[in-house]
Structure 1
Amino acid sequence: MSLPAYSPMLAQAGRLPVGDGWAFEMKWDGVRALVYIEDRAVRVLSRNGRDVTVAYPELRMMGGAVGGHDVVLDGEVVAFDEAGRPSFGALQPRMHQRNPARIAELVRTVPVTFMAFDLLHVNAASAVGLPYTGRRELLEATLTPGARWQVPVWFPGDGERAVRLSHDLGLEGVVAKRLDSLYRQGRRSADWTKVKHVTVREVVVCGWKPGEGRRTETIGSLLLGVYDRGRLVYAGHVGTGFTDRMLHELAGLLAPLERRDPLLEGVPPEQARQAHWVEPVLVGEVEFAHWTKDGVLRHPSWRGLRPDKTVNDLRSA
């Protein structure tokens, strides 16, 4: 038997739902992944279907944690900081790494945990037509928690408690899920509603400007774009939140993407000066205070690249 391919269901941003009929889960600050376990062999696929198994060797032991069943699990790959909180920054070195020696070192210093929150397939049967509660019961009955994978807690009907707990734990927010919702492959649905404590936005890297001081020889800020009704428009620039490793990695990725003119609209003249424009193919993530009246990000801070997402994902969101 060969397990069928699945595409992850996506959540919409919104307000905390009220009333009966909802369950609430913590929102984990990591990267989405589908885990395929067949004949105890484990494959980890990113949100856009890339095989990233090599980057997370500690997850291969999950093959022995499903009672001999063949399954497809949906969840989030998470790394934790020194305080025990999920940290997207801590996960960054793991996401891109393919060098076996470096991966082995990172497994020791920055281990990841797979937070399994859904089950899509077991043996010969698809589970996507079951309601959320049915899939959740099947998940808990099938996957035995281990050192590097968990089935995180859920809160039926108690959204305010879940929000308080997520805030107290320093998490990103919660995801509300309708108890009777089916798993809608590859679709963004209000049946899953994400409610964040902080404002986070995915952006397209469209260019960069040289730095000053100790960053004279490297990137000072990134010029960002977002999609508005199909048009890529200027959304501001970000110059904080970078580590030296991030800057080095970005410089290497952006160099071969250089182009003469920008491929986004509305760039202010003062930002166009000294700008190095690039093909808009890299997706990143920023945290920011709010949108200004001019339609740019106020006080953005760089969180990292999102290799699990593409420009087409942002265009169609």
Structure 2
Amino acid sequence: MAQIAGAEDSAEWQSSKKASRGGSAKAAWLADTLARVDKKKRAATGSAKSPKPKAAAEKKTPEAAQKVVAAKSNGFSSAAVSAVKDLKGIAKRPIPTAITPMLASVTEKPFDNPDWVFEIKWDGYRAVAFLENDTVRLVSRNHNDLSPRYPELKVLADAVQAKNAILDGEVVVLDETGRPSFSLMQQRTGIRAHGRQAAPNRDLPILYYAFDVLYVDGYDLRRVTLEDRKRVLQEILKPSEIVRFSDHYPGEQGTALFEVAKQKGLEGILAKKRDSCYEERRSREWLKIKITQTVDCVIGGYTEPDGSRQYFGSLVLGLYNEKKKLIHVGQAGTGFDQALLKQIFGVLKEIETKTNPFTGPVDAKKVHWVKPVRVAEVKFSEWTHETSEGGLKLRAPVFLGLRDDKNPEECTFQQAVSQK
């Protein structure tokens, strides 16, 4: 593991920083780094083959594009049919009109287990992609249409060798070091205020990392094992400058991958059971292992700024208890630059109200209340037991971003406790 600590000084990394703004070289560098670690680990343990990384960019040749068009003109892709026709658990039915994404539960420590596979946890927006007759519809985890926000992802229709398909994945923006950045993701998307969407920063290129396939040309794969679904996805997906396969690593590599993710400053990793079916709910068959503690909170108000600071001082945050009452858990006053303060303030002013949304005391002064309709993601150092309702309180929370893809009702103490 020590060898990769200086990988950013390597020739590969220096050349990747000179690449185009599309970010493909940066993403490929991350995948290649993880693949090298995987190869070294396998060599040390005497394992035979190392899986080839699929995240590196591959340019579609005109000949390849013609093959995809020809396959689709026949009603389905030969690659898709050959990949799915004999799978256990497959069901033939019309394409679903809606999918509720499968969510991972939290576990504290990384582990190694051959019955599991591991993936990088991308810090972006979850997006289920519905591909029907060359049209692409992107849907968030709370069933909002994301398609107008990311018109570039129409290329998914060409990247998938199937006429109709449903993919699960994540929309991501990489920073200058090749790491996924939720802050840049928000800038690319534009902060949404009620009734309007702030202008997105189109100069920030997006990537779509596909990690699952749920439907292919008349066949529902949700009762097929994850291992088989991953194989199908690899067979039908043609990675491009924008569309990537989110690679997975064998169960013996969980701890090693976690250490790589930690060294690279990533959010964490995911563990998924190889034989897991796709459940449209939160499940223990998928686990997330976080490097940084984060939590999604409801914004219930904001404080006035002090000194030379403009717009507001901090966000007043809360979580819902089992009685569906909003309880104060702290304030986040850091994590903002001047431009972000102004943007967030515009959002807050539109939802300001005279009604206090919290039950119980709020340990903050000069609070302006807002309707509890927006969600903020914050990172923090630890939980403390300080609330009057017997709940938890955040220590040193730092604002990371607004979560338009999360509903306020999801921000509960029960969920917070499960993430401790």
Q: Partners of 2:255 and 2:164 in 1: how far apart?
A: 36
SS of corresponding position for 2:189: helix
1:246 maps to 2:343: no
CA drift at 1:18? 4.3
CA drift at 1:4? 2.7
Residue pairs, 1:275-294, within 5 angstroms = 275-294=367-386
2:274 to 175, 179, 187: 179
1:39 maps to 2:133: yes
CA drift at 1:41? 1.4
Q: Partners of 1:260 and 1:57 in 2: how far apart?
A: 39
Alignment partner, residue 150 of structure 2? 56
CA drift at 1:3? 4.6
SS of corresponding position for 1:245: helix
1:10 maps to 2:103: yes
SS of corresponding position for 1:280: coil
User: C-alpha deviations, 1:258-316, integer Å up to 9, x for none?
Assistant: 222322134345x1x31101111101100111112423211111001000011122248
Identity %: 36
CA drift at 1:100? 11
1:222 to 315, 318, 321: 315
Residue pairs, 1:1-317, within 5 angstroms = 3-15=96-108, 16-96=110-190, 102-103=199-200, 106-107=201-202, 109-157=203-251, 158-185=253-280, 187-216=281-310, 218-229=311-322, 230-268=324-362, 271=364, 273-294=365-386, 295-315=392-412, 317=415
User: C-alpha deviations, 1:243-268, integer Å up to 9, x for none?
Assistant: 23322222222223222232213434
Answer 1 or 2: which has greater helix percent. Answer: 2
User: C-alpha deviations, 1:96-123, integer Å up to 9, x for none?
Assistant: 36999954xx33x211101100001111
CA drift at 1:156? 1.6
Q: Partners of 1:151 and 1:221 in 2: how far apart?
A: 39
- The question of whether the paired residues in 2 share the 8 Å contact of 1:3 and 1:38 is answered with no
The structure-2 alpha-carbon separation of the partners of 1:97 and 1:56, relative to structure 1 and needing over 3 Å to count, comes to farther
Q: Partners of 1:44 and 1:213 in 2: how far apart?
A: 44
Q: Partners of 1:4 and 1:261 in 2: how far apart?
A: 39
Amino acid at match of 1:11: A
User: C-alpha deviations, 1:199-247, integer Å up to 9, x for none?
Assistant: 001000000011123324x111110001232332111001100123322
The structure-2 alpha-carbon separation of the partners of 1:189 and 1:112, relative to structure 1 and needing over 3 Å to count, comes to same
Identify unmatched segments of 5+ residues in structure 2. Answer: 1-93, 387-391, 416-420
CA drift at 1:31? 1.1
SS of corresponding position for 2:145: coil
Answer 1 or 2: which has greater strand percent. Answer: 1
User: C-alpha deviations, 1:136-178, integer Å up to 9, x for none?
Assistant: 0111111111101111221121211211221232211111001
Task: Give me the TM-score of the superposition, normalised by structure 1.
Answer: 0.92
- The question of whether the paired residues in 2 share the 8 Å contact of 1:23 and 1:178 is answered with yes
SS of corresponding position for 1:93: helix
The structure-2 alpha-carbon separation of the partners of 1:102 and 1:262, relative to structure 1 and needing over 3 Å to count, comes to closer
Deviates more, 1:226-235 or 1:86-95: 226-235
Amino acid at match of 2:378: V
- The question of whether the paired residues in 1 share the 8 Å contact of 2:106 and 2:289 is answered with yes
What is the number of equivalent residue pairs in this alignment? 310
Q: Partners of 1:139 and 1:251 in 2: how far apart?
A: 42
Amino acid at match of 1:309: K
Amino acid at match of 1:76: E
CA drift at 1:62? 1.5
Q: Partners of 1:137 and 1:43 in 2: how far apart?
A: 23
SS of corresponding position for 2:374: strand
SS of corresponding position for 2:316: strand
Q: Partners of 1:194 and 1:181 in 2: how far apart?
A: 15
Q: Partners of 2:199 and 2:348 in 1: how far apart?
A: 23
